[in-house]
């Protein structure tokens, strides 16, 4: 039966998505599957917890408080290890907009924050809600929800055997990356505009182009602050390793048309990044592009 499963890579986020090839497109509540190469594949307790957390998402009704995920002490320790690596990397490599947003959220560094707690703060700042998903989200579903101020969010954490590596976006990426940037009014606004642009898009080619621009801005965007190159992309800001390496990338001028045609591989550090001259230039350019789309 496993041959019938095909792995798709979510072009927005590099989410690994397993679907039955003869089934309709997975909706937001489809069951998550672990690939045999996944670090937690042979850990029955981890898999049981992943399923339990997936059940939270499946039972979740929009607008309800999000039930707390049953993290173990080992998993809180994963968060602490990541946090210790990320804090100094943020001070060196994160853009000013991000650093001021992370202060506004001021979440605990010694345990995994629950989505419910992050939501409470983010919603007051930008109106965005994080809503749990089991992990299987098609790009259009993910992007269109942004138009309504909804960020579909995974709640599980990576396997404790690999604290600095995850083959799929987990709650660290969601909170440290997206949760924090959605606590910036301007970055939240761009997320909303991406959703609205996708809703006006009918052809798969146009959707692909918008997904790539999302990737090279919201997920992997960099910009200049004086002489420095700083990150505002959530994929960079949730990986201390990639933050340290980002200057080695081929930094290209901030050209959204070029970004919309640039292929990428979500499984490696990004060798090509599009670098804006400033936060204001990035914000103004993306805003105008999406409104005109």
State the residues that interact with Fe ion by CB under 5 A.
Answer: 13, 234
CB of 169 to Fe ion, least distance (A): 5
Residue 207 or 278: the one with the smaller Cβ distance to Fe ion is 207
The three state secondary structure string of the chain is CHHHEEEEECCCCCCEEEEECCCCCCCCCCCCCCCCCCCCCCCHHHHHHHHHHHHHHHHCCCCCCCCCCCCCHHHHHHHHHHHHHHHHHHHHHECHHHHHHHHHHCCCCCCCCCHHHHHHHHHHHHCCEEEECCCCCCHHHHHHHHHCCEEEECCCCCCCCCCCCCCCCCHHHHHHHHHHHCCCHHHHHHHHHHHHHHHCCCCHHHHHHHHHHHHHHHHCCEEEECCEEEECCHHHHCCHHHHHHHHHCEEEECCHHHHCCCCCCCCCCCCEEEEECCHHHHHHHHHHHHHHC
Residue 177 or 202: the one with the smaller Cβ distance to Fe ion is 177
Residue 45 or 223: the one with the smaller Cβ distance to Fe ion is 223
For the question of residue 93 being annotated catalytic, the response is no
For the question of residue 168 being annotated catalytic, the response is no
* Catalytic residue of the set 101, 126, 238, 260: 238
CB of 153 to Fe ion, least distance (A): 9
Residue 59 or 195: the one with the smaller Cβ distance to Fe ion is 195
For the question of residue 76 being annotated catalytic, the response is no
CB of 231 to Fe ion, least distance (A): 13
* Catalytic residue of the set 75, 93, 173, 211: 173
For the question of residue 90 being annotated catalytic, the response is no
CB of 177 to Fe ion, least distance (A): 6
* Catalytic residue of the set 97, 178, 211, 242: 178
Residue 71 or 214: the one with the smaller Cβ distance to Fe ion is 214
Distance between CA atoms of 124 and 205, rounded to whole angstroms?
36
Residue whose CB is nearest to Fe ion in the complex, by number? 13
* Catalytic residue of the set 75, 131, 174, 219: 219
Q: Which residues are catalytic?
A: 173, 178, 219, 238
């Amino acid at each position: 039966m496993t041959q019938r499963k095909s792995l798709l890579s979510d072009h927005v986020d590099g989410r690994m998505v397993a679907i039955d090839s003869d089934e309709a497109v997975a909706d937001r509540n489809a069951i998550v599957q672990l690939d045999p190469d996944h670090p937690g594949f042979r850990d029955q307790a981890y898999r049981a917890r992943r399923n339990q957390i997936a059940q939270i998402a499946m039972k979740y009704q929009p607008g309800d408080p999000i039930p707390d995920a049953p993290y173990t002490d080992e998993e809180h320790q994963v968060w602490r290890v990541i946090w210790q690596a990320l804090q100094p990397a943020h001070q060196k490599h994160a853009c000013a907009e991000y650093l001021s947003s992370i202060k506004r959220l001021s979440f605990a560094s010694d345990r995994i924050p629950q989505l419910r707690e992050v939501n409470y703060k983010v919603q007051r700042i930008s109106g965005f809600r994080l809503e749990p998903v089991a992990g299987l989200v098609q790009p259009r579903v993910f992007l269109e929800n942004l138009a309504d101020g909804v960020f579909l969010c995974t709640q599980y954490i990576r396997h404790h055997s690999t604290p600095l590596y995850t083959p799929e976006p987990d709650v660290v990426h969601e909170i440290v990356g997206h949760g924090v940037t959605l606590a910036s009014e301007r970055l939240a606004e761009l997320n909303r505009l991406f959703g609205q642009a996708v809703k006006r898009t009918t052809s798969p080619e146009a959707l692909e182009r918008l997904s790539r621009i999302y990737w090279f801005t919201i997920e992997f965007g960099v910009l200049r602050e004086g002489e420095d190159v700083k990150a505002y992309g959530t994929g960079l800001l949730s990986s201390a390793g990639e933050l340290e390496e980002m200057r080695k990338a081929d930094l290209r001028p901030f050209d959204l048309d070029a970004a919309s045609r640039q292929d990428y591989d979500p499984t490696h550090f990004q060798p090509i990044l599009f670098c804006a001259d400033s936060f204001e230039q990035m914000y103004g350019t993306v805003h105008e592009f999406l409104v005109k789309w």
